[in-house]
């Protein structure tokens, strides 16, 4: 029986994180009464010192959010192929033999969230934005989209980065100007990866029958774009869908218990959001 019983989410800022609500609900559902899940404000400069101070015999793993997903990589013993493909680790597991292993559950979490809503394959797709989450979205679309992915970006540099990532992932990527972002919804599936308010401008100029939208924001919800798509009958997924599905995979990695308690974790997330 393992002595490991601790996990936490690290990042900066971190006070808004729903991860403690989700993972504590998972521990309760799994009957892991002695397990703890905390949150710690940690920036890139403080990350090596934080890790050095851990008693890894007690720690099962860590969840990582911005700005640590790339900074953690040099501090690990092993990194999964998925995490390498997007240069981002959001999950660290401390193994019984003392190794630190890194993975990315955002990519399969996004795929699993789409699958839950019946979206398993599309002939074309779009991504709004070109940051770290857009990289995970593109890696997920590599498993879902059989044709071209159009990425709407603000700069030539971002366009080049996404095209290069698509080449590494085996995805046909076409880039387009951000101002034309409303056209994204002409595709069967669009993943919006932008900050709050960034896509509001597109809500009033959507096609008559927009495709499915996966908007990775969860607060405030719905976004103007998500609401406009829902009014037109589109399938709409939100950030809580992604957060819960990626957290289920983290829970399985931390506890060794699968399948993770999806329903209990989703309920906890909905309850926490309703209280904000």
Q: Which residues are catalytic?
A: 69
How many angstroms separate the CA atoms of 153 and 96, rounded?
Answer: 43
How many angstroms separate the CA atoms of 70 and 101, rounded?
Answer: 14
Tokens 């660290």 correspond to 92
Q: Taking the alpha carbons of 135, 140, 145, 146 in that order, is the dihedral positive or negative?
A: positive
Distance from the Cα of residue 275 to its chain's centroid: 22
How many angstroms separate the CA atoms of 22 and 84, rounded?
Answer: 26
Q: Give the Å distances, CA to CA, from 75 to 35, 78, 148.
A: 25, 9, 36
List Cβ<8 Å contacts ≥24 apart for 77-84.
Answer: 77/101, 78/102, 79/103, 80/104, 82/107, 82/108, 82/139
Tokens 């999806």 correspond to 262
How many angstroms separate the CA atoms of 138 and 75, rounded?
Answer: 26
How many angstroms separate the CA atoms of 30 and 186, rounded?
Answer: 42
């Amino acid at each position: 029986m393992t002595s490991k019983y601790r996990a936490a989410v690290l990042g900066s800022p971190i006070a808004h994180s729903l991860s403690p609500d989700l993972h504590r609900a998972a521990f309760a559902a799994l009957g892991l009464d002695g397990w703890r899940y905390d949150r710690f404000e940690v920036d890139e400069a403080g990350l090596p010192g934080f890790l050095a101070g851990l008693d890894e015999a007690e720690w099962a793993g860590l969840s990582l959010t911005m700005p640590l997903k790339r900074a953690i990589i040099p501090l690990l013993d092993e990194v999964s192929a998925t995490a390498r493909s997007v240069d981002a680790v959001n999950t660290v597991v401390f193994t019984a033999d003392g190794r630190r292993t890194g993975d990315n559950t955002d990519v399969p979490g996004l795929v699993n969230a789409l699958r839950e809503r019946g979206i398993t394959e599309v002939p074309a797709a779009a991504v709004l934005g070109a940051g770290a989450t857009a990289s995970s979205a593109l890696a997920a679309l590599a498993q879902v989209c059989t044709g071209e992915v159009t990425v709407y970006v603000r700069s030539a540099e971002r366009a080049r980065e996404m095209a290069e990532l698509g080449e590494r992932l085996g995805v046909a990527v076409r880039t387009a100007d951000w101002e034309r972002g409303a056209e994204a919804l002409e595709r069967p599936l669009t993943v919006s990866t932008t900050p709050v308010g960034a896509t509001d401008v597109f809500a009033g100029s959507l096609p008559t029958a927009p495709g499915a939208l996966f908007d990775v924001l969860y607060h405030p919800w719905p976004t103007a774009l998500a609401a406009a798509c829902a009014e037109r009958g589109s399938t709409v997924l939100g950030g809580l869908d992604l957060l819960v599905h990626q957290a289920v995979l983290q829970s399985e990695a931390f506890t060794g218990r699968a399948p993770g308690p999806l329903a209990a974790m989703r309920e906890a997330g909905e309850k926490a959001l309703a209280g904000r």
